[in-house]
Each structure stands twice: as C-alpha cells, then as structure tokens.
Amino acid sequence: MGNSCSNHLGIPPAKGPNQVGCTDFMMDHTAQGSFFRLYYPCQETEKAEKPDWVPSMEYFYGLADFMKINRTLSEKIFEYLFGSYKIPAYMDAPFKSNENCPVVIFSHGLGAFRTLYSAICAELASRGFIVASVEHRDESASATFYFHEKTEPDLTQESLPKTSSAAVQDDLVKEWIYYRTLKRGEREFPLRNKQVKQRADECILALDKLTEINSGAAVQNVLQTQFDWTTLENSMDLCRTAVMGHSFGGATVIEALCKEVKFKCGVALDAWMFPLDDEVFPRVKQPIFFINSEKFQWAGNISRMKKLDSEVVQRKMITIRGTVHQSFPDFTFLTGNWIGKLLKLKGEIDPELAIDLSNKATLAFLQRHLGLEKDFNQWDPLIDGQDENLIPGTNVIVLQSAI
C-alpha cells in the first residue's frame, strides 16, 4: 500500500516514558451518540499492531469533497501519498498506568476526523494522559459514520461485503455523514455557530462517557473492539480535565469551556474564532492557552482572541515561527518538502521541531492549571514564548480599537 519513496516520512513516535495504546469507542450507535478514538498509556505488548492512519476509504472520499476535487482521482492520489502510514500507538493494547490519569478531550478542525492529530494525542498519552479525540457528527468532519437499525430493504443487502474491520452488531447498518459545503447564497455564520455548539456538546458527551467508564458502569461499545473497557475503572483523575483542539476545534475549546466547568483549562491550536458568539467570551472563566501558527492568523481573528484577555485568570498566547495552519495535524509529517509546501501542509520550520514546541508548551500549561505533579514545568518558559522559534503573543499587528 501507499508511498514506497517515503522511508524518512512518518508520524513521529511519542517521547514520553509510557508506551501508547489506542482504541475506538462508539456509544450509542445513533448520530446522537459519542464517537472517539481513545489514546492511553499501555502495557508493552508483542501482539498489538499499529492501525492505519486513515481508517477506511470513505475518509479519503470525504477529504476529496472537502477539497472540492474528484473522488476517483483523489482516491488514487491519497492512497499513493498516505495509504501506507500508521498511527504511533498500538491498537487495543492493554491499559497500564501506575496512577490516575488526567483527561484531555480533543476536537479536530474543519474537514478533519478523529485520527488526524495522532502525533499530539499520542504524545499526551505517553506522558500519562488519557485522551479522547472526538469525531464530530456536525457535518464538519470530512467523513464520519453511525449506524441505524436494519429495515426490510437492508436485509436484501446482506451479501454485500463489510467495509470496516471493527465488528458490529448484526442488526445494525453503517451510515456515512460527509462534509457539508455551504449552499449557494448561504450565510456562513449561522451554520458554523450551530456546528460549534454541537461540537462542544459532543466534547462534553465524551467526558460524560469517560466518567461512566471510570465509575465501573457497564458500557456497550457498538464497535466491539478487543479492548477491555473494565480495565479503565478508577483509572482517571476527573478533577483534572482539559479540552484542546485545532482551528474549528480551537473555537470548540472556547465554547466547551463556556458550557462545562468540569474542563479546568483549554488549549486552542491556531483557533478559528469566527464561529463563536460574542456573548460567549465574558462567560469563560477558565485559563486558556492560544498556540498560533505564523502564517494563518489575521487581525480580526486575533482581536477576538484578545477579547478573552483577563486580569483575573491566565490567558496566554504564543506563535511558532515558520509554521502554517497545517503544522498541527499529522499531514505535515507525511509529505516531502515540495508537495508539503505546495499544498501548504508544511512551513519553513522542521515540522517535528514545531510539534515538539507545541506539545511541550501544552504539557507545561496543563501541569500549571491542572495541578499535576510532573516535570513538565521544565518547559514553563515556552508558555511565555521564550525560545528562538517562538514569538510571545502574536506576529499580527492588531489596532487597539479593533479589540
């Protein structure tokens, strides 16, 4: 499968002391249920395999729709460029941790899905976090799926091959939701505002499901994976919970903090602030860390971030030099220099250095605001932009009158 000339390319392995496992969780089977990829510290294991980065061909179709290119053509291109890559985590490996794990809920960007931020999520898990990377059902993901119960017409489809490796109950039929483009003449804000509210609700629902799992409640995972969910009973420190996301997921962070005080702080990666109502800003009481790319931000977007400035609670912002908007998802590690720059998946900085700075700054911020007893405070200077590859605050000039 995939790209034989890319030996030096690949998603970087996590740097923390723990091996990383991952599994998928869906509860219940409808579009209103919760669906996420879970990353967690795991036992070293001989048998476990690393899963494909893109779980099935439908996600390539969704990416084609999002990029407004032909599905048939793009399927071949995507398969060639990305089909061979694996996530840096072991599928369904047994959970193992010597302490209760703090929790991060992660929200993907527009046109993305649950597996595309594995470098970030696996790094957090290797440092002792349990991370739920939500796949949103608001039609902002390239593709996602749920199940409906079989009806009479479905029974005639019995002989069709199944497209997913994960087993499901026999009485359920998979239903795909693809990215929804704006209709001709449609205003964007009402759609995005409705979506950001649903996305925040989905992040809160994921936290609710993890709370159930942690309590030892019997859970029904529709996907029937090999992972033993009972091993997560009393594994989480739910007093230490944060929400994190990229782009549209950055806006989702702000909305989720406004709606749910159980999230003690938020990390917004190159946030796209457009979808948020102005009245949300004064209602957010938790610390927020904006980690921005150098090339994506503009004055109007930064001025909305600055509406969250506070004398009372810590609101921090840094910019990573030489980065682009796509320096945060895994795509940046998987294309050579010229294709990466042509498609704006790569900036001027080494992508591994950029994600390392982002991850270390995030860990320091999480330690500070979740009250963790780790060594992440060694990276505290990064929170203030103290590094040759960081800019404290922003590189964008914002007039005070705009704020």
> Which residues are known catalytic residues?
247, 270, 325
Rounded to 5 degrees, what angle do the CA atoms 149, 152, 157 make? 85
Residue 83: exposure state from Cβ atoms within 10 A (0-12, 13-18, ≥19): middle
Q: How many CB atoms lie within 10 A of CB 342?
A: 11
Q: What is the largest CA-CA distance in the chain?
A: 65
Let me know: does 305 contact 317? Beta carbons within 8 Å: yes
Q: Which residue has the tokens 């996600």?
A: 59
Q: Which residues have CB under 8 Å from 280's CB, separation 6+? A: 254, 255, 258
Q: What is the CA radius of gyration of the chain?
A: 20
201-219 core/surface letters (b: 16 or more CB in 10 A; e: else): bbbbbbbebbeebbeeeee
Query: Rounded CA gap, 164 and 179, in Å?
Result: 20
Q: Which residues have CB under 8 Å from 175's CB, separation 6+? A: 31, 145, 146, 147, 148
Strand 236-246 with 172-178, pairing: unpaired
Q: Which residue has the tokens 């806006």?
A: 251
Could you tell me how far CA 216 lies from the centroid of its own chain?
Answer: 26
β-strand partners of 292: 319
